[in-house]
Amino acid sequence: MCGIAGIVYKDGKPHQAGRDMTKMLHALQHRGPDSAGFSIYGGLNLADDEYLLNIEIKEKKGLLKKVKETIETTTRIKSEEKIQSVENYIIYRCKISLDSFSQLKPLIIEIDKIEDVTVLNGSHSFEMIKDVGSVLEIANRYDTWSKKGTHAIGHTRFSTESIVDRYHAHPFQSYIIPDITVVHNGQITNYWKIRDPLERKGHIFETTNDTECIVHYIADKLSNDYTLEEALEQSVKDMDGPFSYIVGTPDGIGIAKDQLGLRPGVMAEDDEIFAIASEEMALGEVVDTRHIEQIAPGEVRVYEI
């Protein structure tokens, strides 16, 4: 199944995005017990050249030191934080500066070469939080309740296509252009047909997860001057299978649904909030649901601030 959700505060100012997304995802917990994740945009307030890395590190002597040394071959660590996760892993978060965005992916590749270390993501304008366990466990582990943001997307995962671990939890991120993330419910059945041309262009796939395929596809389209709406519309034509997915960008969110409408998606809005989710019970946590709209088969909706 999987549960997906997205929220935008129409005034473009930071609000309690972490709290609201936590409540939305908790309402969708029954749709996916394996893992959960958040992309909370607009609350990091980093300088133009700053990035936040989220790195999963096994609790082994000397491993964190090795990670830090690898980072410091490229740049100085400006601030850091350690969060205790489960299964003898810590999440190491650090703020770094880079001369350009193009340095980010090569640095991540270098860090990923260290055994028992995986970079979950690297971002500039959003904070990614994803882990195994229930929504509330993750919310308390990472204190999502206090995270502020202008918009957010989130996911509860019922694993069907790949293993259950932190990296395969959604959202997935692309590094083709900065800060594009995707959460997804369903399957892309022509996965290789979508992946092949992207790889030929030089885009790097880390997994065989179809959600990663979507995020690279959308980022590739956006890097070729498609608007988010145009990218989503084209994806509905190009992708087969049952799906509904939500994209997060620094400017807003968008949803796309397959042409047969085989996965759910509903939307509600008021003067302050635009919200989309798999089910009404998630919308009811953040917005008046007296009037909700079904996302129709093949339809896309976008809200940008």
Residues 261, 270, 304, 305: which binds another protein (CB under 8 A)? 261
What's the closest the beta carbon of residue 23 comes to another protein, in angstroms? Answer: 12
Cβ 275 vs Cβ 24: under 8 Å? yes
Residues 74, 292, 304, 305: which binds another protein (CB under 8 A)? 292
- Give the largest CA-CA distance in the chain: 56
Candidates 101-109, 139-147, 149-157, 283-291: pick the segment binding another protein (CB under 8 A).
Answer: 283-291
Q: Does 296 bind another protein (CB under 8 A)?
A: yes
Cβ 13 vs Cβ 150: under 8 Å? yes
Which residue lies nearer to another protein by CB, 61 or 291?
A: 291
Which residue lies nearer to another protein by CB, 241 or 297?
A: 297
What's the closest the beta carbon of residue 298 comes to another protein, in angstroms? Answer: 8
Which residue lies nearer to another protein by CB, 199 or 293?
A: 293
Which residue lies nearer to another protein by CB, 33 or 284?
A: 284
Residues of this chain, 117-136, that bind another protein according to CB under 8 A:
none
Q: Looking up tokens 């005034």, which residue turns up?
A: 11
Q: Does 293 bind another protein (CB under 8 A)?
A: yes
Residues 190, 208, 227, 294: which binds another protein (CB under 8 A)? 294
Q: Looking up tokens 């409408």, which residue turns up?
A: 261
- Give dist(CA 17, CA 62) in Å, integer: 36
Q: Does 288 bind another protein (CB under 8 A)?
A: no
Indicate the SS3 state at residue 255: strand
Buried b (16+ CB within 10 A) or exposed e, 201-235: eebeeeeebbbbbbbbbbbbbbeeebebeebbbbb
Which residue lies nearer to another protein by CB, 47 or 260?
A: 260
Tell me, residue by residue from 26 to 55, as one string, x for binding to another protein by CB under 8 A and - for no binding: ----x-------------------------
Q: Does 284 bind another protein (CB under 8 A)?
A: yes
- Give dist(CA 231, CA 249) in Å, integer: 12
Residues 279, 286, 301, 303: which binds another protein (CB under 8 A)? 279
Q: Does 264 bind another protein (CB under 8 A)?
A: yes
- Give dist(CA 248, CA 193) in Å, integer: 24
What's the closest the beta carbon of residue 292 comes to another protein, in angstroms? Answer: 6
Candidates 71-79, 169-177, 221-229, 274-282: pick the segment binding another protein (CB under 8 A).
Answer: 274-282
- Give dist(CA 101, CA 118) in Å, integer: 20
Cis omega (within 30 of 0) for bond into 250: no
What's the closest the beta carbon of residue 265 comes to another protein, in angstroms? Answer: 10
Q: Does 297 bind another protein (CB under 8 A)?
A: yes
Residues 6 or more apart whose CB falls under 8 angstroms from that of 135 comprise 22, 25, 26, 28, 29, 36, 156
Active site annotation includes 2: yes
SS3 annotation, 116-168: CEEEEEEECCEEEEEEECCHHHHHHHHCHHHCCECEEEEEEECCCCCCCCCCC
Q: Does 258 bind another protein (CB under 8 A)?
A: no
Indicate the SS3 state at residue 86: coil
The residue type found at 58 is: K
Binding residues for another protein, per CB under 8 A? 30, 260-261, 264, 266, 279-281, 284, 289-294, 296-297
Catalytic residues: 2
